[in-house]
Each structure stands twice: as C-alpha cells, then as structure tokens.
C-alpha cells in the first residue's frame, strides 16, 4: 500500500503521556498530581495543554501488566507509580473536550483480538471527528501471558536477547503485529463509504452490497468480517509503531503510517532513516512520517534542567536511563537539536515529558514559540485544502477502500 504525501508543515511534534511523567520519581515533584492520576480531569487537562501548543497528537501509554523497572518481569517496588487506566477509554473521554489534536492510544497486539480493537478505534474516530490513531505494541513478558492463559512465553532477559531462540520469538511477535494491523485495515474497509442509506421511505438502512467479508486467514488470526462499525471518518485511522532495531523497523515499514524511532544522535538518525527506507522499498510502500523519540527535562537554564534531573535521580535511588535519548536543557537548546536531527530525515518528534505537568508546559510554552520564531512550526491547526482530521494534520490522504467497486 502506498501512502501519498501532501503538503506538511516543516516539523511535526507529539507528546507521549505516561502517568506522572517518564522519570520514575516524577510523581514526587512539588507540582505533580499523584492523587489525580486516575481521574478524567487529569488526562483532559494534559490533552488540552498539548492542544494549546498546537501539537499534532498525543500518545497514551498502556500495557497488560503492572509497570516495572525490570523489563523482563515484575519488580514488586512500591515507590513507583503503579496502575493504569485504559488508554483507548482515556482517549474517548478526552475527545469531546478537544477539537484539533490527534489522539493515539497504545494497544497491545500480542494478547488481544484485532476485531475488538478495530471497532474501538473506529468508535474513537467517530467520537473525535476523525482524530483517532492507534499505536500498536507487542508484549513479551511471561507474567503478562499468564493473565490470559492462551500461550506460554518463556522468561526473557536482556542478557539473552541475541540468542537465536529469543530472536525467533521476537520476530514472531512482530510478524503477528503486522498481521494484526492488516486485519484492522481490512475491517475498517469492510464497510464502503455510503453503505448506510438511511432511507425511511424504502425501509433500507444499509446497502448490503457495500458490506464485505475480510476473509483473513493467517497463522495467528482467522477473521471473517465485516466489522459491526461503519467505515471511520478517516477511512483508516492512523497506525503508529515504535521501533528500536531491524525487526520492529520492518513492522514500521510494512504496516505503519507513523514510525517512532530512538536515535542517539544525528548520524544515528540518518542511519535509521536509511534502513527503514530500504525496508519500505522492499515492501513497496511508503511510511509517511518518522518521529524521533526523546525524553526531555526542560527549564529556563541548562543548570536548572540538570539539577532537576539530578534531584529526581536522587529521589529514585538510581540514575534514570531510557531506550530514547535523554535531553536536559532549555527549550531553545532542544529546538537546536530537533532542527539538526530533522535535517537527517526525521519528519517529526515525539517528546516524552520527564515530569508532568512541568515538562509539558515547557514544551507548549517554551519550545513551540521558539520553533515558531524560527518559522519551523505551524501557527495554527488548519492547513488549506486539508480536512480537519489527524490524517489531514499530518498531510496524509484518506485511503481508498480496497473493497469498493470500480464503478463506485
């Protein structure tokens, strides 16, 4: 499937929302709101703040297990934020109180069914007026599999990550995710546009000829279709995926509209872009956007940002590490970095605020105006000639329906 690129602004920005922030001690900051983490007002407030900054979209983290500092299993810690609300339901709650910003909840593909997710994201697209997306993610922890009892996943560790058996399992997870996305897209297309006639005089609500079986048969899924939800306003909501290495890069290249990557520097960013472009050519499709992920500590001076990071590390009892590049400095310094990496081929950035709401406010009130002064970021949401949807905001055309008759 080829995705056509339309006119886009020079830089795209998103934020990744996770609990009280990405630093494990963020909930202990003076301006943190740990008592509101499980309330609607907390999430609507963050989304509205992001929208005031004209950001493209927010992503909302999720999982099927308790958060853990140990990536291979539970850590039993009690000094960290533990527990989540469902990301899709958060997005549905946020949708009515926002107007422009895209809403991209995380969904786990390893233990869930694409039919259920397809109608949930289609519903979100209707509720938001065409601003829905979904970030697909795999789950490789053994304790997560135990919640469902349908498959066994052996305990994994970073020390064994390069073992052939572990790499085979990782490849299977991402191949399953690619099939999952294919089923999502087929289900979203299973109703043609205009399939709902709603003709009271004739008594016909739908045109049955415009509903189609998906007839997907694969190793992991057998899905007849059609969906029970009419085709979403965007045709197909935006699909995003995070990749750190070749196997997940293939998922980005084969299946996603937006890819999140974690470069260390400008040269690494260029190497990642080149590798994914090679995967795109092999798959005969084009990923419209590649976003670089960064964790950000932002303050009015570099010293203040570093001091805040050091204070949070002390509270956490360990130096904070991440799969993504960690930046501590001023909004102007971050603008320098983003524009430098942008020249390496990244079309946008997904920023992970280290502490909420502090770093989100610094993004919307400091970084965005700085980029606007440099004429590198939009001054408003509407792009001439493009619909007020997430696809329109990203410059992505609405996909043609694969099942539609040629004469239609």
For position 156, what pLDDT does the model report? 65
For position 406, what pLDDT does the model report? 53
DSSP letter string, 145-180: HTTT-S-------GGGTTSHHHHHHHHHHHHHHHHH
For 6, phi then psi, to 5°, come to -110, -170
**Angstrom distance (rounded) from CA 242 to CA 236:** 19
Let me know if residue 19 belongs to a domain. yes
Other CB atoms within a 10 A radius of the CB of residue 288 amount to 20
For position 161, what pLDDT does the model report? 63
Q: What is the pTM of this model?
A: 0.94
**Angstrom distance (rounded) from CA 152 to CA 238:** 31
Weakest mean pLDDT among 172-186, 302-316, 374-388: 374-388
According to DSSP, the β-strands at 102-108 and 12-17 are: unpaired
Let me know if residue 38 belongs to a domain. yes
What is the rounded average pLDDT of the residues 367-391? 89
Let me know if residue 402 belongs to a domain. no
What is the rounded average pLDDT of the residues 82-105? 97
Let me know if residue 334 belongs to a domain. yes
Beta bridge partners of 62: none
Total domains present in the chain: 1
Provide the CA 239 distance to its chain's centre, in angstroms.
8
Could you give the residue ranges of the DSSP H alpha helices within 53-163? 87-94, 114-128, 142-145
For position 382, what pLDDT does the model report? 77
Domain with 26 in it: 12-316+323-394
Greater model confidence, 73 or 20: 20
Q: Structure tokens of 328?
A: 């501590």
Output the average pLDDT for the chain.
92
Weakest mean pLDDT among 36-45, 159-168, 316-325, 370-379: 159-168
pLDDT at 2 over 60: no
Let me know if residue 244 belongs to a domain. yes
pLDDT at 8 over 70: no
Residue (of 353, 290, 279) closest to 60 by Cα position = 353
For position 126, what pLDDT does the model report? 98
For position 287, what pLDDT does the model report? 73
Q: How confident is the model at residue 4 (pLDDT cuts 50, 70, 90)?
A: very low
Weakest mean pLDDT among 136-145, 205-214, 258-267: 136-145
pLDDT at 5 over 60: no
Weakest mean pLDDT among 3-7, 119-123, 332-336: 3-7
**Angstrom distance (rounded) from CA 380 to CA 390:** 14
What is the rounded average pLDDT of the residues 119-131? 98
For position 407, what pLDDT does the model report? 46
Q: Structure tokens of 388?
A: 């007020």
**Angstrom distance (rounded) from CA 354 to CA 22:** 5
Share of the chain above pLDDT 70, in %: 95
Which helix or strand (DSSP H or E) is residue 250 part of?
helix 246-255
The domain that holds 273 is classified in CATH as: 3.20.20.30
For position 385, what pLDDT does the model report? 60
For position 84, what pLDDT does the model report? 95
pLDDT at 365 over 70: yes
Q: Are 396 and 257 in contact (CB under 8 A)?
A: yes
Q: Are 251 and 146 in contact (CB under 8 A)?
A: no
106 is in an annotated binding site: yes
Let me know if residue 149 belongs to a domain. yes
For position 387, what pLDDT does the model report? 78
Q: Structure tokens of 209?
A: 């000829």
For position 158, what pLDDT does the model report? 59
For position 160, what pLDDT does the model report? 65
163 is in an annotated binding site: no
Beta bridge partners of 175: none
What is the rounded average pLDDT of the residues 5-16? 71
**Angstrom distance (rounded) from CA 61 to CA 24:** 14
Greater model confidence, 382 or 276: 276
Let me know if residue 273 belongs to a domain. yes
Let me know if residue 117 belongs to a domain. yes
Q: Give the model confidence (pLDDT) of 203-261 as tens digits.
A: 999 999 999 999 999 999 999 999 999 999 999 999 999 999 999 999 999 999 999 99
């Amino acid at each position: 499937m080829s995705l056509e690129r339309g006119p886009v602004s020079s830089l795209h920005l998103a934020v990744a929302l996770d609990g009280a922030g990405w630093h494990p001690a963020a909930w202990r900051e003076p301006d943190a709101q740990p008592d509101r983490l499980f309330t609607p007002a907390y999430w609507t407030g963050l989304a509205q703040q992001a929208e005031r900054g004209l950001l493209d979209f927010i992503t909302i983290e999720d999982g099927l297990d308790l958060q853990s500092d140990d990536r291979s299993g539970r850590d039993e810690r009690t000094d960290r934020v533990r527990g989540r609300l469902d990301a899709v339901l958060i997005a549905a709650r946020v949708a009515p109180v926002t107007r422009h910003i895209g809403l991209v909840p995380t969904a786990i593909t390893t233990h869930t069914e694409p039919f259920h997710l397809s109608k949930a994201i289609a519903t979100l697209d209707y509720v938001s007026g065409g601003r829905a997306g979904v970030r697909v993610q795999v789950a490789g922890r053994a304790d997560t599999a135990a919640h469902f009892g349908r498959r066994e996943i052996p305990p994994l560790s970073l020390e064994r990550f390069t073992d052939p058996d572990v790499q085979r399992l990782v490849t299977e997870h991402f191949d399953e995710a690619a099939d999952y996305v294919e089923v999502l897209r087929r289900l979203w297309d299973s109703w043609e546009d205009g399939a709902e006639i709603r003709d009271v005089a004739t008594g016909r609500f739908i045109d049955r000829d415009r509903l189609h079986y998906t007839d997907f048969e694969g190793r992991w899924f057998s899905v007849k279709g059609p969906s029970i939800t009419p085709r979403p306003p965007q045709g197909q909501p935006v699909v995003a995926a995070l990749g750190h290495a070749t196997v997940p890069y293939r998922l980005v290249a084969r299946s996603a509209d937006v890819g999140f990557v974690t470069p260390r520097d400008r040269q690494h960013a260029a190497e990642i872009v080149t590798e994914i472009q090679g995967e795109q050519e092999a798959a005969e499709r084009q990923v419209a956007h590649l976003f670089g992920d960064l964790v950000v500590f932002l303050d009015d001076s570099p010293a203040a940002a570093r001091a805040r990071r050091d204070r949070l590390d002390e509270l956490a009892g360990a130096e904070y590490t991440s799969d993504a590049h960690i930046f501590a400095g001023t909004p102007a310094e971050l603008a320098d970095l983003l524009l430098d990496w942008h020249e390496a081929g990244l079309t946008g950035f997904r920023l992970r605020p280290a502490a909420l709401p502090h770093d989100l406010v610094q993004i919307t009130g400091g970084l965005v105006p700085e980029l606007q002064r440099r004429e590198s970021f939009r001054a408003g949401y509407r792009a001439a000639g493009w619909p007020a949807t997430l696809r329109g905001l990203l410059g992505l055309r609405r996909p043609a329906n694969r099942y539609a008759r040629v004469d239609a």
